């Protein structure tokens, strides 16, 4: 390919000096001697997230039970408040988003609500490249309806094993499909699906459609309300840096407000009557209805500080820098690592590429072990993918340059051959 960057260290330093988001780097605990390129699995801790967690702890210490209604962040409405602050990141109206649950719990809630098999419409349409937890949830819900997942779960495959064609997904939207659940960004290859086009095709056919945004929220802009997507769900611990096990989020389009959630729980109640303790469930009139249990406050708290940073930085500049950094990283790889057996598995076009670069190599698992020893933190996905995720808020261009130099040394010296060709329990 034609290079658009000079791949010298001096150019990386110049790019860092011109970086309009560089000031946010000091917000994060980066780790001395470490180049962290795994923010698409777990984002780093920011000082503001740490302080908001400590603030909620302070409220617990100072107020006890009254922390539900007192203190700087009263707990009773905190999920709703954070939903409103998350809404711009997914292109939603404030009342269409709630911070609650986890990715898979929220998917179960949405499947229980929107999957309504009737007549010949009994099938769920998904893809063969999606994250396994989503498939497990869909299979589980099919079984609860007495249906065989082998017959009623459609999984569209990729033509190249790494990416999907929207044409193939649309062709599978037959009159037997009752619901569609797809990822916004494929977790291995980093391909962005054309959510607008897919939603329009689903609406034309009268099929509800929802998206898993785990690998896109905080990295790319969305317009869920405008597109007319029925629902979406996500985690907040990757690009949004809410911490391990951080509370997730979900979106439900306002056209579905007033619908009874499939899984009812007391925190989905209308707030004005929640403590009436009636055995008649009165759901909230917005996305808050899809909450189930009491919020996990200590896992919710870091998101308060993290969302402040996103509000200041803006998802537009974040996406712009992310695209520049992944482009720069790809060009470094192609120039510095030529002839070393690497191929780039993610789409090259900006509008098709998410927030990470996917390097394919038969020795990926051993290379990752050597990279970690050299202080470069990648992510391995079996059998042969190295995911490298520059995060716009805290990754420097010079770090990308240095990471590729370390990778070049590992390959030239065959340092990876020291390691067993076996992944760890957590990859």
Pick out the residues of the known binding site. Answer: 103-104, 131-134, 212, 215, 237, 266, 294
* Cα–Cα–Cα angle for 39, 323, 166, rounded to 5 degrees: 95
The total number of residues written for the chain in this structure: 427
CA angle 11–319–391, rounded 5-degree value:
65
Name the active-site residue from 28, 211, 233, 237: 237
Q: Is 212 a catalytic residue?
A: yes
- The residues, any chain, with a CB within 8 Å of residue 5's CB and separated by 6 or more, are 11, 15, 327, 328, 331, 332
Bind-site residues for pyridoxal 5'-phosphate: 103-104, 131-134, 212, 215, 237, 266, 294
**Catalytic hit among 19, 38, 127, 212:** 212
- Which entry of 5, 76, 131, 281 is annotated as an active-site residue? 131
Nearest Cα neighbor of 108 from 126, 87, 90, 134 is 134
**Secondary structure element (H or E) that encloses residue 126, with its range:** strand 123-127
The question of whether 237 is a catalytic residue gets the answer yes
Active site residue 397: no
Q: Known catalytic residue: 238?
A: yes
Query: Distance between CA 309 and CA 120 in Å, rounded?
Result: 48
Query: Which residues lie across from 155 on neighbouring strands?
Result: 126
Identify the sign of the CA torsion 199, 200, 201, 203: positive
Backbone angles phi, psi at 177, to 5 degrees: -90, 130
- In sequence order, the 6+-apart residues with CB closer than 8 A to the CB of 49 are 241, 242, 243, 302, 303, 304, 305, 306
Reported for 92-97, long-range contacts at CB under 8 A and 24+ positions apart, including other chains, are 92/224, 92/225, 92/251, 93/225, 93/254, 95/254, 95/257, 95/286, 95/287, 95/288, 96/224, 96/225, 96/251, 96/252, 96/253, 96/254, 96/286, 96/287, 97/249, 97/250, 97/251, 97/287
In the residue annotation, 387 being an active-site residue is answered as yes
DSSP label at residue 8 = S
Element (H, E) at 17: helix 9-17
**Which is catalytic among the residues 238, 324, 366, 369?**
238
- The one catalytic residue in 85, 324, 374, 387 is 387
- List residues with catalytic annotation: 131, 212, 237-238, 387
């Amino acid at each position: 390919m034609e290079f658009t960057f000079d791949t010298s260290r001096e150019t990386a330093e110049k790019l860092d000096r011109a970086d309009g988001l560089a000031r946010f780097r000091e917000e994060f605990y980066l780790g001395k001697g470490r180049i962290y390129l795994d923010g698409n699995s777990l984002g780093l801790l920011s000082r503001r997230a740490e302080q908001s967690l400590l603030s909620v702890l302070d409220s617990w210490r100072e107020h006890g039970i009254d922390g539900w209604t007192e203190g700087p962040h009263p707990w009773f409405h905190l999920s709703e408040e954070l939903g409103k602050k998350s809404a711009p990141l997914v292109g939603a109206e404030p009342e269409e988003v709630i911070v609650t649950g986890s990715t898979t719990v929220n998917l179960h809630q949405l499947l229980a609500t929107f999957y309504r098999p009737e007549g010949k419409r009994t099938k769920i349409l998904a893809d063969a490249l999606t994250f396994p937890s989503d498939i497990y949830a869909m299979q589980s819900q099919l079984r609860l309806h007495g249906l065989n997942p082998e017959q009623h779960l459609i999984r569209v495959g990729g033509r190249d094993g790494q990416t999907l064609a929207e044409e193939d997904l649309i062709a599978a939207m037959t009159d037997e499909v009752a619901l569609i659940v797809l990822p916004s960004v494929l977790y291995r290859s980093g391909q962005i699906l054309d959510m607008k086009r897919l939603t329009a095709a689903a609406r034309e056919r009268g099929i509800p459609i929802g998206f898993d945004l785990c690998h896109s929220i905080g990295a790319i802009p969305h317009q869920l309300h405008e597109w007319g997507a029925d629902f979406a769900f996500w985690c907040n611990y990757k690009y949004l840096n809410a911490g391990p096990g951080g509370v997730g989020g979900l979106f439900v389009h306002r056209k579905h407000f007033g619908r009874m959630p499939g899984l009812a729980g007391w925190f989905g109640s209308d707030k004005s009557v929640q403590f009436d303790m009636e055995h008649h469930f009165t759901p909230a009139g917005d996305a808050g209805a899809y909450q189930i249990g009491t919020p996990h406050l200590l896992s919710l708290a870091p998101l308060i500080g993290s969302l402040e940073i996103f509000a200041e930085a803006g998802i537009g500049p974040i996406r712009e820098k992310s695209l520049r950094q992944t482009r720069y990283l790809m060009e470094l790889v192609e120039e510095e690592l030529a002839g070393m057996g690497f191929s780039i598995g993610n789409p090259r076009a900006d509008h098709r590429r998410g927030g990470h670069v996917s390097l394919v190599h038969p020795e990926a698992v051993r290379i990752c072990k050597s990279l970690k020893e050299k202080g470069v933190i990648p992510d391995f996905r079996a059998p042969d993918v190295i995911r490298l995720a520059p995060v716009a808020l805290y990754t420097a261009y010079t770090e990308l340059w240095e990471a590729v130099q370390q990778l070049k040394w590992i390959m030239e010296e065959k340092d990876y051959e020291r390691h067993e060709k076996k992944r760890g329990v957590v990859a």
